[in-house]
A and B are shown apart, each in its own frame.
Chain A
Amino acid sequence: MIDLGVRPHKPTVAAVVRRRVNPRHIPVLATLGLLALMYGVGVVNYPGLSNTQVTLNIFIDNAFLLVVAVGMTFVILTGGIDLSVGAVVALTTLIAATLLKAGWPPAVVLPLLLLIGTTLGLLMGCIIHFFEVQPFIATLAGMFFARGLCFLINEQSIPITNSFWVGAADAEVRIKGFHLSLSALISVAVVLIAAYVLAYTRLGRNVYAIGGSAQSATLMGLPAAKTKIAVYAISGFCSALGGVLLSFYMLSGYSLHAQGMELDAIGAVVIGGTILAGGSGYVVGTLLGVLVYGLIQTLITFDGRLSSWWTRIFIGVLLFLFILLQRAVTRRTKMGQK
């Protein structure tokens, strides 16, 4: 930092690489590398995995998680956390199923669902900002509230038979014999939009600035209040959209859908290299994190010998390895900068 202008005369190869690669990109690149490694090892052991459709299925089966994790990325980038996402997803599926069963037109239900999710997020953001309640506690209350509403509405699973919903669930794009569902396309679109917003818009820059230091951002005159509330509203919107995609996937609304999804989303964001303290991370990393989750599940299905609880153990072990690796990488780049 201080030795501006003082450069070593003969830079080593490592130093050149270090200067070429933005240190902020290293965690994402590490995740990409490990994902490739996992995939490679998987293909060697289970040749069936090399089928492109298997990869596409990972997108199809995790579309809702991806959308939710993107919303979570915004929140975590500001240094906050949103524990309510799983409950909001469940609430969305349940309200969708209930209203559609009552004969409401999808053109009304769909915007209404997104509005409800966004409003819930907005309310939590306001409580966090104006009353200085810690995000962890405020969104925990939001989680209880949304799940509580679910139980109040209906404790049973409600099937969705609406023709638009069923049609959307079956809709898919076919290219050369491979298919990708509408949900997967929507989730990828969400990733692209989020990446654009974070990289090129004022809101995105403010999110990073607040995550870096809320106090400095405020002193610089950035709209800290607006941004902080906005990220929770975005997360609420993404949860509602994720809920819509889950209702396409499941074709039912149930108060116990998406149990523990908040942890999957947080896990995916962390594996994707976003720092929980805020200020550093990318949506692309989150996409990779969700793919890691999906790939683990696919590998375990391919193996067939392992019980479902091995999924949890593997995800735990992988979380551990990824975090260790990230620590090692960030430590080294910090030393390199000295």
Chain B
Amino acid sequence: MSAVLRNRLFWPVAILVLLIFGNVFFTPTFLSIEVREGHLYGSLIDILRSATPLALVALGMTLVIATGGIDLSVGSVMAISGAVACLWISEQPDQNAVSGVLVAVGLALVLSLLLGAWNGMLVAAVGIQPIIATLILMVAGRGIAQLITDGQIITINSSAYKVIGAGYWLTIPVSVIIVAIVAAITMVITRRSALGLLIESVGGNPSASRLAGIHSGRLTLLVYAFAGLCAGIAGLIYTSNVSSADGNNAGNLVELDAILAVVIGGTSLAGGRFSLVGSVIGALVIKTLDITIYTVGVPTNTTLLFKALVVIALCLAQSPAFRARITGRRPAAHGKEVAA
């Protein structure tokens, strides 16, 4: 029992299960999933679908935070990626042409990767603090996204592009499949090779890991580029779902939700350890919370307050100092290690 309790994923999973059961209490059909018009349909599927952009951003953010960094620019990168793709498609003679959509997707992803690499370069090569290095792109990126869309909302009418965010493959939403693939590849690469360990070592102690012969600079560049790429894919899913690009509002505040998802998932903001599964669960917790607020019938103007209270409760539940105070015991040895 204590081994289960001590598992890093125990709290996030417990919260998710609690939220879902809370929903079942209010709407008994909450858990039901049916096949309608050839695709899966139900509240749980809604949660999965709406959580996809956040989960992707949180995946990239997890590795960045594992190196002891943070990426505030993900929302802006999302906006830029969506804006570039939609602009390209809107200028095609045939918006439904698959080739045009593929070029748009390719352009957007390469650009996102470069923007992420730019962040990584500032952090690794120039040595700027991550929060400030990415603040630059966060502020300027919004402006760039608005520059691309010329301050307007670009609407497109492309069935091929719509597949990314709103399509289904074998009854499963395509966006969920994309996230599953990205998450699986990331987990395999980080946990089946030494990469994850190296990333954690950079976060634990950058100078020690550099002295131990790890290319901490190269790794840092890599994780920021990856975070950019993830944000880019999230931007595609987001704009594809609504068939329009809004430079001002796309991905607004997503960085805060993503950081929250990562923290809920048990990754320490101080760096040095990470859990990709935890972050995906964290993203699901946040989106379930959003949907719970609707289904339970909490008035929409109290949504944010409710969220704040849950966040505070979550933070306290995960704080070793708080748990020690409640149980009257000193935090366990591994708890101290995290704090240091």
Contact = CB atoms under 8 A, between A and B. Distances in A.
A149 B305 CA distance: 6
A279 to B, nearest CB: 13
Contacts of A310: 143, 147
Contacts of A33: none
Interface string B304-340: 1111110110011001111001000000000000010
Contacts of B306: 148
Given A133-B319, A144-B307, A309-B146, A316 B136 contact: yes
Contacts, number: 130
B33 to A, nearest CB: 31
A130 interface: yes
Interface string B134-148: 011111111110110
B129 A276 contact: yes
Nearest to B301: A151
Interface in A36-59: none
A185 B160 CA distance: 59
A132, A266, A276, A308 — most chain B CB neighbours (10 Å): A132
A127 interface: yes
B311 A140 contact: yes
B269 interface: yes
5 contacts: A132-B321, A143-B256, A145-B308, A276-B131, A309-B151
B73 to A, nearest CB: 10
Given A132-B320, A315-B139, A320-B136, A137 B263 contact: yes
Contact of B140 (A131, A138, A144, A315): A315
Interface in A108-131: 127, 130-131
Contacts of B140: 312-313, 315-317, 319-320
Contacts of B256: 83, 140, 143
Interface string A312-338: 111111011001100100000000000
Interface residues of B, number: 47
Contacts of A314: 143
Given A127-B312, A319-B132, 8 more contacts: A81-B131, A133-B319, A138-B315, A147-B304, A148-B302, A270-B135, A312-B142, A327-B128
Contact of B151 (A132, A263, A307, A311): A307
Contact of A131 (B147, B260, B302, B322): B322
A266 B72 CA distance: 13
Nearest to B144: A313
B151 A134 contact: no
Contacts of A307: 146-147, 151
Contacts of B308: 141-142, 144-145, 148
B126 interface: yes
A152 interface: yes
Contact of A152 (B129, B137, B305): B305
A143 B253 CA distance: 12
A303 interface: no
Nearest to B323: A131
B127 interface: yes
Contact of B269 (A136, A266, A327): A136
Interface string A262-292: 0100110010000011000000000000000
A263 B142 contact: no
Interface string B34-57: 000000000000000000000000
B96 to A, nearest CB: 31
A83 to B, nearest CB: 8
- By secondary structure, the A interface counts as helix
A136 B126 CA distance: 24
Contacts of A134: 263, 269-270
Contacts of B319: 131-133
A170 interface: no
Nearest to B311: A141
B141 A316 contact: yes
A136 B263 CA distance: 11
B259 interface: yes
Interface in B141-187: 141-144, 146-147, 151
Contacts of A308: 151
Interface string B254-293: 0010011001000001100000000000000000000000
Contacts of A270: 132, 135
B303 interface: yes
A132 B309 CA distance: 18
A217 B339 CA distance: 18
A267 B139 contact: yes
B302 A152 contact: yes
Nearest to A130: B321
Contacts of A320: 136, 140
Contacts of A263: 135, 138-139
Contacts of B302: 148, 151-152
A155 B136 contact: no
Contacts of A131: 315-316, 319, 321-322, 325
Nearest to A144: B308
Given A131-B322, A309-B146, A316-B140, A148 B129 contact: no
Contact of B135 (A127, A138, A266, A327): A266
